[in-house]
Amino acid sequence: MTTVFIAFLLNFVVLFLIYVIFVLGLNIQWGQAGILNFGLVAFAMLGAYITGILMFHPTASSIMQVGLGLPFLVAFPIAVAVTGVIAWFISPIVKFGLEELAIITLAFAVLVHIVTDNEAWLTGGTTGLMITSNLNDRLDVLTYNLAFVGILLVVALAVYYFTRTLNFSQFGRILNAIRLDELKAKSLGIDAVSYRMKAFVIGSVIVAIGGSLYLYFVVRTVPDLFPVDLTFILWIALLLGGSGNNRGAVLGMGIYMLLDMLARLYLNIPAHPEVGAGLKYVVTGLLLVVVIVRRPEGILGPRRSKYGG
């Protein structure tokens, strides 16, 4: 009982750390550069699925016919880089306004989802994509979860350090300037579109890192592991904590995960499992409304620079 419970908790911590990586990516795009991305989950999917395809060993009988059988440490950087290139190809969309971006990015996420759902030869489709993982084969549940808490803690801290450095650098300052007044930034000789494109790619790469590690942790993935509404969970977390603020992003994610965990533990009505899940959204939604009404800039407020404020 206790082992199961500890594994359950560790599982939550792992998920929290993966989501933290996602939300830090979103924070660069929205919190700093002001790029609206309702399709963030697509880049997590790309990171996960490209990693999966690179690692998969195809056999004559497997549904999935593509795979290179590479080890994770080789597949991971390739998958992240390829996702970065894909993001770079579509990054010119940042020229568009918020409304257009909302539709384009959401459509992109749905598109990626449909393709992974249907092109079973490439992605395993709804049957799923399963990779072989040494860690998974050798370690028991508890150690496995513990190992991943360690791995993800290191990666999440590295990502946090990177986004923090970016935030307070001249690059971050310019991104913030563009978000606050794009025309004014341009009038000061700043190529706003180019900066926003870079921010879009950097954010997507960070999300792909999270996605790739997510697959490595769960070993087997189906498209529904990355539901389109995952993006909005990340948005809620960011808006709760304070967009533009890395600490706020982490805090918001923490609050969401805590609510999620409490809902699963205490709102679990065996006959009606959907009630607990539904109530979680109700509570999160109420919290978001309260925060937006009482403190529109989020719990921790916007980013603070070392030049006061």
Partner 1 sequence: MVDREVRTILRCEHLSRSFGATKAIDDCSLEVQEGTITSIIGPNGAGKTTLFNLIGGFLRPDSGEIYFRDRDVTVLCRGCKCHVLAKIGIAQSFQAPRGFGEMTIMESLMVPPPLANDNTLFSTLKLLISKKDTSCEVREKRALDMLSGIGLEGKRNDRLLDQDAGTQKLVELAQILLLDPSLFLLDEPLAGVSRNKVPLILNYIKGLRDKGKTIVMIEHKMEPVLNISDVIHVLVNGKVLASGSPEEIREDQRVKEAYLGVSHAGT
- Residue number with CB closer to partner 1 (57 or 184): 184
Short-list 175, 177, 179, 156, CA closest to 167: 175
What lies within 8 Å, CB to CB, of 48 at 6+ separation is: 79, 211, 212, 214, 215, 221, 225, 226
Task: Give exposure, 93-116, as e/b (b: 16+ Cβ within 10 Å).
Answer: bbeeeeeebeebbbebbeebbeeb
- Residue 210's SS3 state is helix
Stretch that binds partner 1, among 18-26, 35-43, 266-274, 299-307 (CB under 8 A): 299-307
Residue 85 Cβ vs partner 1, minimum distance, rounded to whole Å: 17
**Contact flag: residue 181 with partner 1 (CB under 8 A):** yes
Query: Which of these ranges, 85-93, 135-143, 171-179, 219-227, lies near partner 1 under the rule CB under 8 A?
Result: 171-179
Q: Which of residues 87-126 bind partner 1 (CB under 8 A)?
A: none
Q: Which is nearer to partner 1, 268 or 305 (CB)?
A: 305
- Give CA angle at 301 (298, 306), nearest 5°: 160
Asked if 162 is part of the footprint of partner 1 (rule: CB under 8 A), the reply reads yes
Q: How many residues bind partner 1 (CB under 8 A)?
A: 30
163 lies in the site for partner 1, by CB under 8 A: no
Place of tokens 């080789």: 74
Residue 183-222 contact track with partner 1, rule CB under 8 A, x = bound: xxxxxxxxxx-----x------------------------
Q: Cα–Cα distance between 236 and 205 in angstroms, integer?
A: 21
Q: How far is residue 161's CA from residue 206's CA, in Å, rounded to a whole number?
A: 12
Question: Which residues lie across from 130 on neighbouring strands?
Answer: 220
Distance CA 74, CA 58 (A): 18
- The minimum distance between CB 185 and partner 1, in angstroms, equals 7
Q: Is 176 in the site for partner 1 (CB under 8 A)?
A: yes
| CB closer to partner 1 out of 270 and 309 | 309
Segment near partner 1 (CB under 8 A); pick from 27-35, 161-169, 204-212, 265-273:
161-169
Query: Residues interacting with partner 1, by CB under 8 A?
Result: 161-162, 165-166, 169-174, 176-177, 180-181, 183-192, 198, 302, 305, 307-309
